[in-house]
Amino acid sequence: MKTLLVSAALAASFIAPAAANAQALPPAVVAVVDLDKIQNECTACKSAATSLRGQITSLQNREKALAAPLQTEQKSIQTAIDALNGKEPDAALQARIKAFQAKQQAGATEIQTTQQKIQNNQRYVQKQIQDKLNPIYSDIMRKRGATIMVEVGATLATAASLDVTNDVLTALNAALPSVSVNAPAAAAASTSKNDGR
């Protein structure tokens, strides 16, 4: 029994310092930031969003412009094929079919290339913003004495005093008044390679 009591006392002597050391850590000082608000209200973000929407609208208009004559041609070719009643198309109709398929493929390639360019532009805009935000986060954490910063959407509830969104927004607007909405060819190529992983 004495051995058991001595063992328990010895174990307690090891646990007590470990618990005291764990208690010695300073309490976390938390700051929260609303990234949706940042993205919707920063000057460069709003300008970039407008430009990117314009690029998307241009793509949609081009898609319609390409589709209309192709649909007309497809109907015309289908009518000619139906009129054959199962017979083989002559050389002229076969040439029309080949020309139609080539136009259709060229249009699809053009649309796909433009979509990829817009996606690269979107990623390039996001990268420019993120590159400026990272040092801003660190600076605001230092100024506020925060040891952790979290996105407000990842929290259940926060006190208004923890919100540093306006500080981040002000700093971002000062550091990044505008962004380029056209990714350079080198950035577009490296983004495409990274997406392929």
Asked whether residue 13 is domain-assigned, the answer is: no
Largest Cα–Cα distance of the chain, in whole Å? 108
- 18 inside domain: no
At 163 the three-state DSSP class reads: strand
User: Is 21 inside any structural domain?
Assistant: no
Give pLDDT tens digits for 168-189: 999 999 999 999 999 998 655 5
The count of domains in the chain is 1
Structure confidence by residue, pLDDT tens digits, 111-153: 999 999 999 999 999 999 999 999 999 999 999 999 999 999 8
C-alpha closest to that of 149 among 88, 58, 158, 67: 158
Within a domain: residue 157?
yes
Mean pLDDT value across the chain: 86
Residues 6+ apart with CB under 8 A from 33: 137, 149, 150, 151, 152, 163, 164, 165, 168
Q: What is the pLDDT of residue 112?
A: 97
| Residue 2 covered by a domain | no
Question: 131 lies in which domain range?
Answer: 29-195
What's the pTM? 0.73
Domain-located, residue 7: no
Distance CA 178, CA 108 (A): 33
CB 65 within 8 A of CB 114: no
